[in-house]
């Protein structure tokens, strides 16, 4: 992990939690599976499988492990390091279904790639509505307070209400 990731994570977690996170990240990189059972099987602790699984679940439900507390400060640091305030930052919004999972995603377009900023699991199937779109945009706008933003979206996001809202915020779209 880059040094500023490590410094921030150390400030949010106890030493034991930080070490456990490093172990989990190493396991994810080596087994390449995002499955609680696969992680628990590979976790190098001399305890029963079920105890390892519960340990991972407890860790993942820590109150400090939220997007706002862990990821947003890292995004702010990335913006400071790699984006000049006078340049336009392209922010993509997208919603997709994976089987029965309805995911709303916000990403920065950077070096021909989408870099994730925020996501929300929507509690329903189908398209997002203007209230959900506003809620998510309101959540990420403080990250970009010193930057010019252009919001990109597909045909799901072509509503006049959303355009007026983005215009009120002073965003390009």
173 residues of the chain, pLDDT tens digit each = 889 899 999 999 999 999 999 999 999 999 988 899 999 999 999 999 999 999 999 999 999 899 999 999 999 999 999 999 888 999 999 999 988 899 999 999 999 999 999 999 999 988 999 999 999 999 999 999 889 999 999 999 999 999 999 999 999 99
Whose tokens are 């172990």? That residue is: 23
Handedness of CA 139, 143, 149, 151 (dihedral sign): negative
pTM of the model: 0.83
Residues 83, 73 contacting (CB under 8 angstroms): no
Three-state secondary structure call for residue 66: coil
Whose tokens are 């209400």? That residue is: 161
| Nearest partner of 107 among 92, 123, 127, 87, judged by Cα | 92
Q: Say which DSSP state 156 is in.
A: G
């Amino acid at each position: 992990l880059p040094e500023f990731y490590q410094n921030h994570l150390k400030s949010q977690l106890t030493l034991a939690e930080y070490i456990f996170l490093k172990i989990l990240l190493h396991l994810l990189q080596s087994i390449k599976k995002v499955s609680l059972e696969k992680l628990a099987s590979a976790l190098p602790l001399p305890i029963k499988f079920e105890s390892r699984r519960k340990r991972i679940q407890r860790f993942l439900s820590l109150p400090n492990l939220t997007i706002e507390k862990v990821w947003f400060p890292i995004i702010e640091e990335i913006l400071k390091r790699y984006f000049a305030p006078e340049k336009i930052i392209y922010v993509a919004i997208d919603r997709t279904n994976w089987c029965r999972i309805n995911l709303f995603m916000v990403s920065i377009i950077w070096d021909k790639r989408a870099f994730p900023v925020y996501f929300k699991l929507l509690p329903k199937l189908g398209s997002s509505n203007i209230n959900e779109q506003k809620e998510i945009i309101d959540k990420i706008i403080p990250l970009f307070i010193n930057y010019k933003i252009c919001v990109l979206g597909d045909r799901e996001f072509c509503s006049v209400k959303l355009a007026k809202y983005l215009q009120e915020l002073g965003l390009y779209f």
